Amino acid sequence: MRVLRAKSAGFCKGVERAINIARDYASRGRRPVFTDGPLIHNSQMMAELEREGVRELGDYRSSEKLEIDLNDEARKQAVLIVRAHGITPQRREYLRSLGLEFRDATCPDVAAIAGRVKMYAKKGYTTVIFGDPDHPEVVGILGYSQERGYAVRTLEDIAALPDLGDRVCMVSQSTMYVDEFEVLAEALKQRFPQAVVFNTICGATRDRQGDVPALARDGAEAIVVIGGRHSANTLKLARLVELQGIPCYHVETLKELDLAALARYKTIGVTAGASTPGFLIDEVCSALEAL
């Protein structure tokens, strides 16, 4: 079987940076190394990090206080790391108050979006973000909007916005569809002609989305998408495959892959989300090549 592996498959720079930060502390014997919720959206990688001494703690959506039962000596060694998706300024202030060493692993691209929203909010702008209102990245970014923020996903959402006046700033969750952002941005400009619009979809997302039709053009008869079922960018890749009119097989690991069903194809494309570790991609590609 011929296997076409997307050039962009695997960790993006923001995810790789967050993992390296956690691993660096763990390798130096710092114990425990905490992350505020899952560092990234991949359960297999989080399990790997846990074996290395990294422990998931808390939930960005919860208002409950974190229970950290450590003696004084352990507190001196403990580290608390912010997830790659970022957090609200209120959450940041609370985590810093816990008295542990604090390290921010927010993706630089996400941090840049939050910084832009913060700057425009100070000027009196209302923020409109194209994204999933329940996604941790969107929750974190809207925390900088001074409570003047709306998440939108459809044209209906744009139409349902109240009168926001002349000061409107639009950004995007970093992992959204480029084409959909352009459509919604045009609709927003129709309603609010003075709106300032920033396409903040990251380069890694653009590359991954572009690689899907490229795999189809290169002859892929079906495409395997590897990544977490809660990973926004992975789910979007699966949908893009379906839009190409070819079969999509979305799996988290090789164990979920129906090799018998894939054996009828001569050429298979393989891509993966930004949080998918290379060893999972290698396993799938090796199994397909062996058919």
Residue type, position 263, single letter:
A
Asked whether 271 and 225 are in contact (CB, 8 A), the reply is: yes
Cβ-Cβ contacts under 8 Å for 47 (sequence gap 6 or more): none
Q: Which of 16, 48, 93, 137 is catalytic?
A: 137
- Structure-token pair, residue 278: 């290379």
**Distances 131 to 8, 106, 159, 212, 233 between C-alpha atoms, Å:** 22, 18, 16, 21, 11
Catalytic annotation on 137?
yes
Q: What is the helix, strand, coil percentage profile of the chain, to 5?
A: 45, 20, 40
Contact 166, 125 (CB under 8 A): no
Do residues 221 and 246 touch, judged by C-beta distance below 8 A?
yes
Sign of the CA dihedral with 241 first, then 242, 244, and 247 last: positive
Lookup: tokens for 197: 């619009």
Residue 11: phi and psi, rounded to 5, are -55, 135
Dihedral of the alpha carbons of 199, 235, 50, 258, in degrees to the nearest 10: -150
Q: In degrees rounded to 5, what are phi and psi of residue 167?
A: -105, 95
Active site residues: 137
